[in-house]
Amino acid sequence: MITNSRSDNVNTRNLVVDILLAVTRDGAFSHIAIRDVLDKYRYLPKQDRAFITRLSQGTIERMIELDAIINQFSKTKVKKMKPVIAAILRSGVYQLKYMDSVPDSAACNEAVKLTVKRGFGGLKGFVNGVMRTIARNMDQIRYPDAKKEPVRYLSVKYSIPEWLVQRFTEQYGAEACERSLAAYLMPHPTSVQVDTDRSSVEEIIASLEQQGITVRRNEQVERALFLSGYEALDEIEEFENGLLYVQDTASMLAVELAAPKQGDHVIDVCAAPGGKSVYAARMIGEQGHVEARDLTEYKVEMIEENIDRCRLSNMTAKVWDARVFDEAAREKADVVIADLPCSGLGVIGTKTDIKYNASEEKIAELAALQQEILHVVCGYVKPDGTLLYSTCTMTREENEDNVQKFLETHAGFELEQMRQYFPYEGCDGFFMAKMHRR
The single-letter code of the amino acid at 405 is K
Please tell me the number of Cα atoms within 13 Å of 261 on its side-chain side: 3
CA distance 407 to 333: 19
The reply, when asked if residue 294 is annotated as ligand binding, is yes
Report residue 404: phi and psi, to 5°: -60, -45
Question: Which residue in 177, 342, 392, 427 is the catalytic one?
Answer: 392
- Cα dist. 254→263, 335, 392 in Å? 19, 12, 11
Q: Residues 41-44: contacts with CB within 8 Å, 24+ apart?
A: 41/10, 41/15, 43/2, 43/6, 43/7, 44/7, 44/10, 44/12
CA distance 429 to 177: 11
The reply, when asked if residue 259 is annotated as ligand binding, is no
The reply, when asked if residue 264 is annotated as ligand binding, is no
Whether residue 392 lies in the annotated active site: yes
The reply, when asked if residue 321 is annotated as ligand binding, is yes
The reply, when asked if residue 328 is annotated as ligand binding, is no
CA distance 414 to 438: 7
DSSP string of 138-183, one letter each residue: GGG-----TTTSHHHHHHHHHT--HHHHHHHHHHH-HHHHHHHHHH
The reply, when asked if residue 272 is annotated as ligand binding, is yes
The reply, when asked if residue 234 is annotated as ligand binding, is no
The reply, when asked if residue 182 is annotated as ligand binding, is no
CA distance 405 to 397: 10
The reply, when asked if residue 273 is annotated as ligand binding, is yes
Ramachandran quadrant class, 386 (left: phi over 0; alpha: psi -120 to 50; beta: rest): beta
The reply, when asked if residue 104 is annotated as ligand binding, is no
Q: Which residues contact 3 (CB under 8 A, 6 or more apart)?
A: none
Please tell me the number of Cα atoms within 13 Å of 19 on its side-chain side: 31
Active site residues: 392
Q: Name the binding residues for S-adenosyl-L-methionine.
A: 270-276, 294, 321, 339
Q: Name the binding residues.
A: 270-276, 294, 321, 339
